[in-house]
Chain A
Amino acid sequence: MAITQQKTLAINGDEAVALAVKQSDVDVVAAYPITPQTIIVERFSEYVADGEVETEFVCTESEHSALTACLAASAMGARTFTASASAGLALMHEILYVTSGCRAPVVMAIVNRALSAPINIHCDHSDSMVERDSGWIQIYAENSQETYDSIIQAFRIAEHLKVLLPIMVCLDAFVLSHTLENVQVLADETVQKFVGLRDVPQVMGHEGREVPFKLDPSNPITMGPLDLYDYYFEHKRQQEEAMKVAPQIIQEVHEEFSQISGRKYGNGLIDAYHLEDADIATVCVGSTAGTTKTVVDRLRKEGVKAGLLRLRTFRPLPLTDIVKTMENVKAVAVMDRSNSFGGHGGPIYHEIRHSLYDSPTHPHVVNYIYGLGGRDMPPAIILNIYKDLQEILKTKRVKRDVQFAGVR
């Protein structure tokens, strides 16, 4: 495959999502608007109103119903999409588990926004981080370009017959959702060819034969039964297996997409920046990585061996990639844009520390909770974090393992 002709559009992250969905030949979009995801639903409504898509758009009365409608449509064999943020995602919580449990490959854009109370519409990752155990694949985008690319890839990953898991593509509120950026977009037919038609596997039904895994009057199956202690555990084990297969599929789809777009995001799971010889490194997800890269560049110019690890997928957690990439790093600062109250650090910190526990170098791993409710994360604060790491490197001592960056 050759890199295809692309157009450059000045669009924001939400518009990039809407466009990617429009191009991906989605059958059913069911959504409920919430700031800062609103633009996605608005733009998509315009596509529908102008007859630019064949999609059935269901503007539901709640996020709970939006995800439910996607789940049910997905069970019909349809390609489905929804989008939400913050309170909306929290309202979906119950159905997130049902969706993954029903193995419905719904794709959802999450515009990361703080959770109430007090009410706040700005960026942090509390909304999606709390859903990390819901059985969804989570991809965090660094910029609007990656958001656009990831939405298209998400359909292929979610619907892959070995995966069949729902995916959240997360983008930072306002920083990405509402900020204009030059986004390279593929031609409609290129995207359509890439995503293809949704297929379903065959399953053993109750009439003693293999039937398509969908609600089909010609081949009836029963989905969503009462599943007790004799089989529930086995179904959960199956979900874990799908998560184990997912990294390979994510990487394959990422690689194939790069063939037509010319764009790559690390290896599709992690994006390592100057980590080969780094002594100190930060770890983060989302748009903060962009700012951090400029800080790393500055430190590198000063001769500091600084690096950055951006997790592109948080679920499945790319554990072996994390360990391998960080094998020479001696001090690590994990940046969490959410907090696990009373849990001694944020969720990414827990996972990175856990990942590096068996690492031969056994690095110091500290945590910075930052940017809650949209608090800015300027280069100066990130620079201070690297300074702290230099201090740890020098003294081989950690003064405080969990800190708040940017709070008064």
Chain B
Amino acid sequence: MSRELKGWKDIPIAGVCWKPATEYLTGDWKTFKPIHDPEKCTKCLLCSLICPDSAIKWNQANEELMFDYDFCKGCGICANECPADAIKMVREGEG
């Protein structure tokens, strides 16, 4: 990830952070990605609650789950825990 490196005069003192982690995408870490089956999904939201990366988002407006592949690291916890068997892990590029 290329980025501009600043000089000591141009950064805050004491190591105060100046970028949100949400600008650092971790989605390219994964080998497997979760595929969500809305038909099977009961919208219990367990997957969203237990995702270590807050990558399963709940759209309040249309009451839908959205998988954010920019951050999903492909751990597969969601698929393992889904009580409705509504999430499958597939190899990246095959989904």
Contacts and interface: CB of A to CB of B under 8 A. Distances in A.
Contacts of B13: 103, 164, 201, 203, 213, 235, 238
Interface of B: 5-8, 11-20
Interface residues of A, number: 24
Nearest to A236: B8
B15 A227 contact: yes
B15 A101 contact: yes
A222 B5 contact: no
A237 interface: yes
A241 B8 CA distance: 10
B73 to A, nearest CB: 19
A243 to B, nearest CB: 13
Contacts of A61: none
Nearest to A203: B12
Interface of A: 101-103, 164, 201, 203-207, 213, 221-225, 227, 230-231, 234-235, 237-238, 241
Chain A binding surface SS class:
loop
Chain B binding surface SS class:
loop
Contacts of B15: 101-102, 223-225, 227, 231, 235
Contacts of B20: 206-207
A204 B14 contact: no
Contact of B14 (A205, A206, A207, A235): A235
Contacts of A238: 8, 11, 13
Contacts of A203: 12-14, 16
Nearest to A227: B15
A297 to B, nearest CB: 46
Given A103-B14, A213-B14, A238-B13, A206 B19 contact: yes
B49 to A, nearest CB: 23
A67 B28 CA distance: 42
Contacts of B19: 206
